Amino acid sequence: MTDAKTRIDETVKANDVVLFMKGTKDMPQCGFSSRVAGVLNYIGIEYTDVNVLADEDIRSGIKDYSDWPTIPQLYIKGEFVGGCDIITEMALSGELDGVFDENAITYDKAAFEKIREANA
């Protein structure tokens, strides 16, 4: 498991935004992963996707790494932000905009507004 933890740690620290998910950003393989990737894709975030289905060590290791039981998991600037429900709530409340702003992550602010309008 140490190897998986090292690989996870290196990935999280080497990339500004990382989504550990089932499938890929272009082809999510579960509804929860699809929801988070859909938000990130829609608002134009550049992020690294890690398909946990392709590596069982990463799939189990990410849960230990974050002490969070579910996938997907979003990391921004090396910090665990949350899973699907938390990211959805943060996107709808505007809190996720703040996290991106604080970390100088470029995104489409108008697209975030459209998401909120559609879910109002």
Which residue, among 75, 79, 13, 86, has the nearest Cα to 49 in the 3D structure? 75
φ, ψ dihedrals at 19, nearest 5°: -120, 115
- The answer to the question of whether 84 is labelled as a binding residue is no
Strands 48-51 and 17-21: parallel
E strand or H helix at 32, and its extent?
A: helix 31-42
Looking at residue 75, its amino acid is Y
Looking at residue 2, its amino acid is T
Give the strands of the sheet with 17-21, arranged side by side: 48-51, 17-21, 73-76, 79-82
Q: Which residues are annotated as a binding site?
A: 30
Residue ranges for the binding site for [2Fe-2S] cluster? 30
